[in-house]
Structure 1
């Protein structure tokens, strides 16, 4: 093997080692937030991972980079799989599909309250990517696609589906965020109320499916 070949091999192994360690540290940070609350403390992350802060900062340039990585994991491993998964499931009616997505979002708030509060506390950080907004965009775009497919399959124009989708996602997110602290109604009642409100608008725009 040439010197270049050995060098490339070492570089590849280091790159993979670095990737694996970063994943371990981000997972430790997620567990730290779950245990201690939405205020991420680097000292606690290091203790959870069983390393010093010095070691931790070999893999992240600063706390902001660690926070970004934690937000990305919350988005890609918790929020999006759950919400997009519900949208992808064929259900008897469009209303049933809408209710399932609303219920999934409310369930996430109930099951992961610390991660939810952490994620939304980081929204709009100056100079950083807003992964919360990106998650909302991805869900809205997926909902728009689903509605567009329904209309197109019936020979109708999909124009307006993005407006409807972003409106629904924004309404559900804001109402659920209010509920996450107020808890003035039960989770089941919240899901029912939001479904009724959202479907009241969408039912006037989407043609009824069989069974509706």
Structure 2
């Protein structure tokens, strides 16, 4: 039998989308997000050493259900770290950096205060994030957050320098210096508690402002 060849150049119509598959994909995504939320609550209640059983109790399901959506506990931990970073930590810090303030000291103080407030408001989530630092082959929330905040701060410093007709070569060095100073000092303070949170913010602001104040051009 002779085969008929379509020479019209018109591609055949694409198959209709599978509505059931689309609905199942969305259901699975939403269910997974719910379980991540339950895991965050388990960390708040139990602490950094939460178990999958703790998550199951928080979600009101069996442990078997958890493993339908996560291959193992490490994958669940990664999802919790992502939720903490994207929904809790970065919105606070980057939100403060995005606010226009006439005074550099006030800007530094607001960002430092936001970070210290996070330690105060979410101590279990903060300890959990640090407990996962440096996991081999896994996401590092602390490093990723440092990069994001330093990148945003470096961009602002660079803009100031360029606007003043000066080289912006030092912008990222200074940004990482400020972020690293605040992060390490606040982490030490979270256990030592030698001063109040307000005093800590004032002390770190004085150091950061004093350093940048000698390097940045005055605001016009």
Which TM-score tier does this pair reach, normalised by the shorter chain? Answer: over 0.9
**Structure with greater Cα Rg:** 2
Superposed counterparts of 1:129-140, under 5 Å: 129-140=139-150
Distance in 1 separating the partners of 2:120 and 2:64? 35
Which consecutive unaligned segments of at least 5 residues does structure 1 have? none
- Corresponding residue for 1:99? 109
Distance in 2 separating the partners of 1:5 and 1:58? 29
Superposed counterparts of 1:40-51, under 5 Å: 40-51=50-61
- Corresponding residue for 2:187? 177
Of stretches 175-184 and 37-46 in structure 1, the one that deviates more from structure 2 is 37-46
Per-residue Cα deviation, 1:42-94 (whole angstroms, up to 9, x for no partner) = 10100110111111100000000000000000000111000000000011211
- Corresponding residue for 2:6? none
2:125 maps to 1:115: yes
- Corresponding residue for 2:25? 15
- Corresponding residue for 1:78? 88
Which of 124, 137, 154 is the matching residue for 1:127? 137
Q: How many residues are paired up?
A: 207
- Corresponding residue for 2:40? 30
Of stretches 31-40 and 188-197 in structure 1, the one that deviates more from structure 2 is 31-40
Q: CA RMSD in A?
A: 1.3
Cα deviation for residue 142 of structure 1 reads: 0.3
Cα deviation for residue 139 of structure 1 reads: 0.3
Which consecutive unaligned segments of at least 5 residues does structure 2 have? 1-12
Cα deviation for residue 209 of structure 1 reads: 2.0
Distance in 2 separating the partners of 1:90 and 1:5? 49
2:22 maps to 1:5: no
Cα deviation for residue 5 of structure 1 reads: 3.1
Cα deviation for residue 118 of structure 1 reads: 0.3
Cα deviation for residue 162 of structure 1 reads: 0.3
TM-score, normalised with respect to structure 1:
0.94
Distance in 2 separating the partners of 1:129 and 1:74? 12
2:165 maps to 1:155: yes
